[in-house]
Chains A and B, each alone.
Chain A
Amino acid sequence: QVKLQESGPGLVKPSQTLSLTCTVSGASISGGDYYWSWIRRPPGKGLEWIGYIYYSGSTYYNPSLRSRTTISVDTSRNEFSLKLSSVTAADTAVYFCAGEMYDYKIQYSYGMDVWGQGTTVTVSS
């Protein structure tokens, strides 16, 4: 059973960098079965996809956040991380990490079927 757990500071000051880590258990990131994503939900709003990373290190980011986003992977620790720079109050949200199972042989996604419980990040001085 694959499990994900987010960790990181719950409070970040404006203009600083938000840093979160997602630890994966029950599956190896190096296995290549998943795209690993970060998603957030601001208060009173819906889900927003931030970006993904594959075990090889290839990434893709939401164009609206691309200039401030970096997602990296540490296969030795079986975890992936998010950095969001120059944060403002608009970046206050619950942040989730998720795994999207993908079969490269048939180019097919089974959706984001594993999620972390989410971690609340507040941007405030």
Chain B
Amino acid sequence: QSVLTQPPSVSGAPGQRVTISCTGSSSNIGAGLDVHWYQQLPGTAPKLLIYGNDYRPSGVPDRFSGSKFGTSASLAITGLQAEDEADYYCQSYDSSLSGSRVFGGGTKLTVL
């Protein structure tokens, strides 16, 4: 059981917009701790997609965006493309486990 809860799967057609939620608690996201998002394509290492809740590293398309409100965070992907089919993970920190990094359980995105 992950500290951060994500839906196991989401899907969308090419060109559509999808969102992936990441629900935490008052000891992590709700405590004001930042959320980062990673994309893991099959057979590859995770790649940082969003850091600090809503910042994109250079090279990440602006089709990807992040947001945070209360004890939850979201990743939005617009203009869905076949190459976006991957596993997506949120990551934060837990103040009850000082210094501990925590990941969500991961969400499999299927492009229909």
Interface residues of A (CB under 8 A from B): 37, 39, 46-49, 52, 60, 62-63, 96, 98, 100, 108-113, 115-118
Query: From DSSP, what is the main secondary structure of chain B's interface residues?
Result: strand
* CB < 8 Å A-B pair total: 66
Give the residue name and chain of the A residue nearest to B43 (CB).
A118
**Nearest CB in chain A: distance from B103 CB, A:** 5
Cα of A93 to Cα of B45 in the assembled complex, Å: 13
- Are the CB atoms of B52 and A46 closer together than 8 Å? no
- Are the CB atoms of B36 and A111 closer together than 8 Å? yes
Interface residues of B (CB under 8 A from A): 2, 34, 36, 38, 40, 44-48, 50-52, 57, 87, 89, 91, 97-106
Measured between beta carbons, the chain B residues less than 8 angstroms from A46 are 2, 87, 89, 103-106
Cα of A11 to Cα of B102 in the assembled complex, Å: 27
A110 touching B51 in the complex, CB below 8 Å, given contacts A37-B101, A48-B103: yes
- Are the CB atoms of A52 and B101 closer together than 8 Å? yes
**Nearest CB in chain B: distance from A58 CB, A:** 9
Name 18 extra pairs, CB < 8 A, besides A47-B38, A109-B36, A111-B38: A37-B101, A39-B46, A46-B87, A46-B89, A46-B106, A47-B89, A47-B91, A47-B103, A60-B98, A60-B100, A63-B100, A108-B52, A109-B52, A110-B57, A115-B45, A115-B47, A117-B44, A117-B45
- Are the CB atoms of A112 and B105 closer together than 8 Å? no
Give the residue name and chain of the A residue nearest to B36 (CB).
A111
Partner of A47 from B34, B47, B106 at Cβ < 8 Å: B106
Partner of B91 from A52, A111, A117 at Cβ < 8 Å: A111
Partner of A118 from B45, B52, B89 at Cβ < 8 Å: B45
